[in-house]
Chain A
Amino acid sequence: MADLHELYQEVVLEHSKAPRNYRQPGAVNYRAEGYNPLCGDRFTVFLDVEGDTIRDIGFQGSGCAISTASASMMTQSVKGKTKAEAARLFEQFHRLVTGQTSEDERELGKLAVFSGVSGFPMRVKCATLAWHTLETALEERQNVVSTE
């Protein structure tokens, strides 16, 4: 049986209650909106990208504890990274939350607290909403991404 405490780890709950980088940075040159019509979660991710490097990142919106905490911790993880590094981190994160155990887990650092999501397949979309939004913002494909 999947364990609730694996899903709602202290760090996750703490980030969901007090999300970091919950703001629009002063300079924004990339942004995208992420929306999950199933649960109504909606986030906007703002980026200040210089050359290839994410100089600053913030997000705003509302969602469940998992999606909010994931967005919050994502902003911490990718700040200062290159676009390619951020994309690689998302790949690893995606493997983590879908239960495809990654040997690179160490690179995920604090994001490893989301490993419990893999026991709750219905919540993978929550954990990845902000990441999909980030990916879309960086690719400038469109400005609204949906996880449904």
Chain B
Amino acid sequence: MTTLAHSPQISDSSVAPRNSICLKPDEVNSGGLDVDKIRHDFPILGRAVNGNRLVYLDNAATSQKPRAVIDVISRYYERQNANIHRGVHSLSALATEAHENARQSVRQFLNAGDVREIVFVRGATEAINLVAQSYGRTQVGAGDEVLITAMEHHSNIVPWQILCQEKQAHLKVVPINDRGELLLDEFEKLLGPRTKIVAITHVSNALGTINPVRRVIQMAHAINVPVLIDGAQAAPHFSVDVQALDCDFYAFSGHKVYGPTGIGVLYGKAALLEAMPPYQSGGDMIESVTFEKTTYNKLPFKFEAGTPHIDGAIGLHAALEYLNKLDMDKVAAYEYELLAYATEVVAAIPGVRLIGTAHEKAGVLSFVMEGVHPHDIGTILDQQGIAVRTGHHCAQPVMERFGIAATARASFAVYNTKEDVDALVKGIWKVREVFC
């Protein structure tokens, strides 16, 4: 039987693993979550797609939004809308307060020590670009090295590639094994005196692998190299503690944690952020402007040029509150069981091969089928109301590593159920029926 070695609710693999959970195939323990009730919180789950109940398994691309998030955004525009930070009028004060409360909620969500360390950005991609452009351009020079891994999303490859090209620096890539796990000994070998920053994903979007980021950070810090963690696929699935991890930067996207699109977060240690030059310039990020000289606003506003995505921040706040109420540890435990069940039943279908079989995984089940292209799988599943992602998942080097052009990827959220997994299995059998 296929089971994952231990629960992804432990946010780092250097923590001693719990005992293996052995599931009976017909059981998914909800671990105290009322999943039926949760499903009712998400209005979209009530709709049909192509005449079938919607089975939404594309959560790694974006999650659906609970009523609480949808309502808070409407309410903001109905009752509070104004520009923030500068106004003396009441609405501006209300909007400013709501926006800054959102920042506090993110600080708590990541357990950051200081709210000044929470920078609002458009998403994880922009967060990484900010660090590559602001930190990277000042700290990386000719002959230096940036260290990433072979399982990165394009957004944690290309910003570094551009930086390295500009600075005549070298992009070094830590390889992975056939299960899709990081080779830590190779990481150790590649980490050297020329390494200026390590950028690594917490959870792989294409494979689901949870990386041993705490160990990676310890190793990098041993030679004073800062580490950026791409948490886009981790933040939705288990609790993240940036102080416990001791990471230097942490990036995640609001829309993958049940919040709106267009809002995301860069956490950065205050000392690092203080020393970094602004990323973009304009309104809000300045303290004073004359034609001779501009002084910049203090943290975190220094990195937030222009009118921010106010309703996005407020929506994100509602989403994080929603997750807090559910309890991230319960979410992690439930999703772990769901993934273990899905792994077992999908792997048992003849002709199906899983891509990404790491001992520690979260949220993602990537697979290929003998003789069937993932796009055809995607279309046939869609006809049954099942939404999965097919393609290279913006991780073409991962596809190359496994010698495939694409995979079909089912990815899970807290509102998914055993019934969803069973529908997926039935759907895959239908694919076989069409093709075999």
Contact = CB atoms under 8 A, between A and B. Distances in A.
B409 to A, nearest CB: 13
A39 B390 contact: yes
B50 interface: yes
Interface stretch (A23-31, A51-59, A73-81, A120-128): A120-128
Interface in A8-66: 8, 13, 17, 38-42, 62-66
B392 A40 contact: yes
B434 A1 contact: no
Contacts of A68: 373
A65 B391 contact: no
B148 interface: no
A40 B50 contact: no
B380 A4 contact: yes
A130 to B, nearest CB: 14
A126 B375 contact: yes
A38 B391 contact: yes
A63 B376 CA distance: 10
Contacts of B399: 40
Contact of A39 (B50, B383, B405): B405
Given A4-B380, A64-B375, A41 B435 contact: no
Nearest to B406: A40
Interface in A118-138: 120, 122-123, 126
Contacts of B392: 39-40
A43 B33 CA distance: 49
A116 to B, nearest CB: 11
16 contacts: A4-B380, A8-B380, A8-B434, A13-B434, A13-B435, A17-B371, A39-B391, A40-B396, A40-B406, A41-B375, A42-B405, A62-B405, A63-B373, A68-B373, A120-B379, A122-B379
A14 to B, nearest CB: 11
Contacts, number: 53
Interface string B369-408: 0011111100110010000001110001001000001100
B406 A4 contact: no
Contact of B373 (A1, A7, A65): A65
Contacts of A40: 391-392, 396, 399, 405-406
Contacts of A126: 375
B193 interface: no
B350 interface: no
A25 B52 CA distance: 47
B394 to A, nearest CB: 10
A7 to B, nearest CB: 7
B385 to A, nearest CB: 11
A38 B391 CA distance: 6
Nearest to A13: B435
Given A39-B390, A63-B373, A64-B373, A123 B379 contact: yes
A40 B379 CA distance: 16
